[in-house]
A and B are shown apart, each in its own frame.
Chain A
Amino acid sequence: MGNFLVWAIWLVAAGACLATGLRVVTASNPFSSALSLIGNLASLAVLFLLASGEFVAAAQVLVYAGAVMVMFLFVIAYLGGRADAPWAGGTRLIQTASVISAVSLLAVVFVALMLNAGGRLSDEAEVTRAFGSPGEMGRLFLTDHLLAFEITSIVLLVAAVGGVVLGMRSAAEELADAKPSLQQTVASPEEAAR
């Protein structure tokens, strides 16, 4: 019974995951794309949970489906009608080539998986209840993977600085905006002198 329940939940989550993924790529309205991606991330979190990745699932919902997607929705709302994306680009030849390359990539991945690891994928390791728990993750981050942890923080800092620099109005833009009023105040005394 428990086995059946796990299978049922897994199938629903995997189906939702693939369906929302397809919707992200095919929707012409960017809002429905972004909302479908939130569903995709949530169903992926369920799959992570079933593979005993509790902390990764929680981080997925908090960081991805929460913070990152809110940023996406804000930008789409800020862009308004300009964000509208009629769905495909390029000539029919390019579209066909894109689909063919995606499908062939899928085939290559499947063949590589089956050839390389065919028999060895079935015997899973026994894990304790601590596997994937926040405490264990924290211990790994502060012992074995300390360098990766620190580098991640630097990457995030650099990205934040980059975001601010990209968002800053450049000096040329400020001047272009300020010019009309500046010219008026400068020009009027000259005209009076003439």
Chain B
Amino acid sequence: MSGPGIPWYLAVAALLFSIGVAGVLLRRSPLIVLLSLEIMLNAANLAFVGFSRLFGEMDGQVFALAVMAVAAAEVCVGLGLIVAMARRNLALDVDTLTELRG
């Protein structure tokens, strides 16, 4: 293949995953935590697609699509939780949300 080899893709995926981890650990707003989670899922997807190209098997791409569906489900539930929290006038701050009781 002309152009960059698979190690370059994996390097970008690793960097992107670490950026997502930093976002999840550092930020307090649940919205930004969800966005950082999306970055981590997409970094995994990039690694899947890269390895799929390396081995010439399309199973990795199939799994990347499955990850996309799971991410959509996660966003659906996560945003539902955030809206429910906002309606109960809870602070949108993961550091103060320490109880699970409704």
Q: Nearest chain B CB to A92's CB is how many angstroms away?
A: 12
B14 lies within 8 A of A24 (CB): no
Q: What are the interface flags for A82-125 relative to B under an 8 Å C-beta threshold, 1 for contact and 0 otherwise?
A: 11011111100001001101110110011001000000011011
B100 within 8 A of A: no
Option from A6, A30, A110, A140 in Cβ contact (under 8 Å) with B58: A140
A182 within 8 A of B: no
Chain A count of residues within 8 A CB distance of the other chain: 84
Which residues of B (17-75) have their CB < 8 Å from a CB of A?
17-23, 25-29, 31-32, 34-36, 38-39, 42, 45-46, 49-50, 52-59, 61-66, 68-75
Which residues of A (125-159) have their CB < 8 Å from a CB of B?
125-127, 131-132, 136-137, 140-141, 144-145, 148, 152, 155-156, 158-159
B59 lies within 8 A of A144 (CB): yes
B35 lies within 8 A of A79 (CB): no
User: With A24-B23, A102-B21 in contact, is A51–B5 under 8 Å at CB?
Assistant: no
B61 lies within 8 A of A53 (CB): yes
Q: Nearest chain B CB to A141's CB is how many angstroms away?
A: 6
Cα–Cα, bound, A149→B84 (Å): 30
A122 lies within 8 A of B77 (CB): no
A10 lies within 8 A of B59 (CB): no
Option from A21, A75, A98, A141 in Cβ contact (under 8 Å) with B39: A21
- B-contacting residues of A (Cβ < 8 Å)? 2-3, 6-7, 10, 14, 17-18, 21-22, 24-25, 30, 33-34, 37, 40-41, 44, 47-48, 50-53, 55-56, 59-60, 63-64, 67-68, 71-72, 75-76, 78-79, 82-83, 85-90, 95, 98-99, 101-103, 105-106, 109-110, 113, 121-122, 124-127, 131-132, 136-137, 140-141, 144-145, 148, 152, 155-156, 158-160, 162-163, 166-167, 173
Chain B count of residues within 8 A CB distance of the other chain: 75
19 A–B contacts, CB within 8 A, in A order: A3-B3, A21-B16, A22-B19, A24-B19, A33-B32, A44-B45, A48-B49, A53-B64, A56-B61, A60-B68, A64-B42, A68-B38, A68-B71, A71-B75, A76-B31, A90-B95, A99-B22, A101-B21, A109-B18
Find chain A residues with CB under 8 A from B17 CB: 105-106, 109
A122 lies within 8 A of B86 (CB): no
A75 lies within 8 A of B54 (CB): no
Name the CB-closest residue of B to A7.
Answer: B3
Option from A34, A48, A87, A156 in Cβ contact (under 8 Å) with B27: A87
B54 lies within 8 A of A124 (CB): yes
Find chain B residues with CB under 8 A from A17 CB: 12, 16
Find chain A residues with CB under 8 A from B4 CB: 6-7, 10, 50
Find chain B residues with CB under 8 A from A83 CB: 29, 31, 92
Cα–Cα, bound, A141→B34 (Å): 28
